[in-house]
Structures are given as structure tokens and as C-alpha cells.
Structure 1
Amino acid sequence: MTTILWRGARPLLLASTSPTRRGLLEGAGFSVETAAPGVDERAVEAACAGLVPEALAERLAEAKAGAVAARHSDRVVIGADQVLACEGTLFHKPADLASARDQIAALAGRTHALHAAVSLAIDGSIVETFVETAHLTMRRLDARQIAAYVALAGADKVRASVGGYQLEGLGIHLFSEIAGDHSTILGLPLLPLLARLRDRGLLGF
């Protein structure tokens, strides 16, 4: 599989079925294969009670990378996870439209943090984990505006992402200020990931 860009013997293995993360890697020129990690995220979170959100994101990313690396010890594996925290509260993907409206209402007028962690496994072992953070300030929104957004975005979109929004789509209308790298917001901090792969001789330039 060695190419001008990727120096690994086989394609990069992403421990996720997220189309957004896969799309980011493919957009950066990688040939990517995916594997579902099969990790119970809520169980990991419960076991990590008391950790700050950044550390929780790292533990989740490590759990995913480790689970896939254990089954594919000959592969370079990337695990990733993201934790949304706002004023001490953690948010998860909304279960339904009502939950999405509630999450957006809770975030409206406030600044929240997206902690995106990446864990790299080589030869079956975790070799490095890091986290990057972006801060997003949501506009003040009333119930009518929130309902209009949810209706326009649709159930599939608002249930697919923590916080009930996708910044790369209609979710951009919800925000007044964003501080952080775009790929971090999407859940896979590309620049620091590329730097680490390059340092390990896995990239050709």
C-alpha cells in the first residue's frame, strides 16, 4: 500500500464508522478503511467519573483505538472521540427531536467546548494520545428559532451529532463566534495528527 504520501504497508485503519472523520482523512489524501470499535461509550464514561472532559475524551479515543488494534495488530489504527462540555455539563448525541431542541436551548447564548481526542495505535499498542479543543459560542435563540432549525436540518442530522448541530451544514447558522480549528470541531484534529504521523515516518512529505 506504500504510496508517495502514505508509507504504511496497508491502508490507515480508522476505529470509527463516522463518515465525517473518514471524509476528513480521505480529503487529506489517505486511503482509509474503517472498523467499528464496539465500545460502550457510556460504560467508559461511567468508569471515568470525575475526569475532566479533556481526559475523558482521551480515554474514549484510547478505548476505541485499543479495541480495533487488538483485532488488527498489524495495522496503523486511529481512534477518535469528542466530548462537548458546557459549564460543567456533558452532552451526548440527542435521542430524538425533542432532545435536540432541549440541547440547543441549553447551549444557546453560551460558549461551549468541543474536546476532540485522537489515539494512535501501532503494532497492536497505543503509542500516543492527544486532545485539541475548540470553543463555540451559540447565538441567543428563542423556541421558534430552535424549532425552525431542527425542522430544516431534519431528524437524521440533528441526531447524528452531539449538541444537535453539524457545523458543516445548517448548524453554522446557530453560532456567533467560533475559536478553533475546523477539523477539531468536526472531531478529528488533522494538523496535529499529520504531524505525529510524519514524525513516525508514516508520511512521505
Structure 2
Amino acid sequence: MHTTQPPLVLASTSPYRRALLTRLGLTFRTASPDVDERRRPDEPPQVLVLRLAEAKARAVASAHPDAFIIGSDQVACLDDAVLGKPLGRDAAIAQLERASGRTVLFQTGLCLLDARSGQAQTLVEPFRVHFRPLGRQRIEGYLDREQPYDCAGSFKSEGLGIALFERLEGEDPNALIGLPMIRLIRLLESVGIFPLGA
């Protein structure tokens, strides 16, 4: 007996992405994609996130051959440099000092893969964060309180990190957290999954 709607799988173990997808009230599973996330030589950031979003979705497809699979990847860019997850306090201080008074461009890749046909829909959602001028004391005070060491750019915009910003520029603030929800909803609706009902 076939279900009317294929299962939905989030190819991510990120608690942030899981929390965002939970908001839609859809039933879904999570799966951990085994993907080499290293940037290729001279690979533009938008190409990198598109490639990795799709690679993550395809990495779990064999275990979920009848599912729609969501893959996502994000990088933060300052000039031509990619800011990764700091993973520690010293690196986070350096990232925020570099971002002080400047604009960081976040590129979030999104993929919706139909594992049954192998067809993938992909896109990149840009979002710009304009930082306030930040002194060392303010940076250290923020990091001590929130410890965002697993976040690209060294902040949590959904938390106290909002105090670091002059302004935000983009169509979907959820993209900053790691999943562009407005565009994702459109992709889901295009394959017959309607969070608000058909």
C-alpha cells in the first residue's frame, strides 16, 4: 500500500535547521549526510553552497529512496574570504573584529531532491548583515554570553547576536539561520506538499 505523500527527509543534523523546518508542522525525519565540505580551488561561494546542498541531499538518498530530501549549506563571505564556523573563542573574536563596521554576505544553498526520480531543484538565497562598529570589550562580552562557536560568522541572529548589527538586508531572515523557508515552501508546494493545505 502506498502513502499519498512521499516521506520528507532533512539531510542535516543541525539543530537550527531542524527547528526551522519544525515550524511548518510537517512530519519529517533527519539524516546525517556524509559529505566532504571542503571548498574546491577558486570555487565561488555560491557554487560551493549549491554543490554541497545537493551533495548532502544525494548522500542520504540511497537510505531514503522514496523520499523528498532537503539539503542546505551556508557560507559567510567577507570580501573574497569565506568565514567558517569559528569552533573556538579566539577564532570568533578574530571573525567579529574583522566584520566590525562592515558587511558580511551569507549565501545559503537549498536543494529539494526527489529521490525517486533523482531530479533536484536548487537555488541560492543571499542575505547581507551590516555590522555595527564593534569594540573588543563588546565582542568578548557577546561571546561569553552566547558562545556561538558552531555558527558561521560567530553569531546567532535569532539570539543576542542581533545586538551586533546595524541592519539586515534580504528577503528571508530564516536564511541567516540556515534554511531559506520562504523559498523552501515554494519548492515543497511545487511537488505537492502544502504546509497550509492545498
Matched, 1:40 2:36: yes
Q: Percent identity?
A: 37
5+ residue gaps, structure 1, are none
Aligned partner of 2:152 in structure 1 is 162
Q: Distance in 2 between matches of 1:126 and 1:142?
A: 48
Q: Aligned pair count? A: 193
5+ residue gaps, structure 2, are none
Question: Displacement of 1:70 after TM fit?
Answer: 2.7
Question: Displacement of 1:9 after TM fit?
Answer: 3.2
Question: Displacement of 1:141 after TM fit?
Answer: 0.7
> Is the helix fraction higher in 1 or 2?
1
Q: Secondary structure at the match of 1:66?
A: helix
Q: Distance in 2 between matches of 1:62 and 1:127?
A: 7
Q: Distance in 1 between matches of 2:89 and 2:191?
A: 44
**Does the 8 A contact of 1:66 with 1:126 survive in 2?**
no
Instruction: Determine which of 67, 86, 111 is the counterpart of 2:103.
Output: 111
**Does the 8 A contact of 2:6 with 2:68 survive in 1?**
no
Q: Secondary structure at the match of 1:165?
A: coil
Matched, 1:70 2:62: yes
Q: Distance in 1 between matches of 2:62 and 2:183?
A: 24
Kindly report the root-mean-square deviation, in angstroms, between the aligned alpha carbons of the 2 structures.
Answer: 1.6
Aligned partner of 1:148 in structure 2 is 141
**Does the 8 A contact of 1:62 with 1:126 survive in 2?**
no
Question: Displacement of 1:19 after TM fit?
Answer: 1.2
Q: Distance in 1 between matches of 2:5 and 2:14?
A: 22
**Does the 8 A contact of 1:136 with 1:175 survive in 2?**
yes
Q: Distance in 2 between matches of 1:126 and 1:62?
A: 10
Q: Secondary structure at the match of 2:192?
A: coil
Aligned partner of 1:184 in structure 2 is 175
Aligned partner of 2:130 in structure 1 is 137
Q: Secondary structure at the match of 2:9?
A: strand
Deviations 1:10-37 (A, max 9, x none): 2x10000111111111111111210010
TM-score using structure 1 length: 0.89
Q: Distance in 2 between matches of 1:178 and 1:192?
A: 18
Matched, 1:14 2:10: yes
Q: Which runs of 4+ in 1 moved over 6 A?
A: none
- Comparing 115-124 and 54-63, the one that deviates more: 115-124
Q: Distance in 1 between matches of 2:190 and 2:35?
A: 29
Q: Which amino acid aligns with 2:154?
A: G
Q: Secondary structure at the match of 1:130?
A: strand
Question: Displacement of 1:126 after TM fit?
Answer: 4.1
Aligned partner of 1:81 in structure 2 is 73
TM-score using structure 2 length: 0.92
Question: Displacement of 1:111 after TM fit?
Answer: 0.4
**Does the 8 A contact of 2:54 with 2:120 survive in 1?**
no
Q: Distance in 1 between matches of 2:16 and 2:139?
A: 24
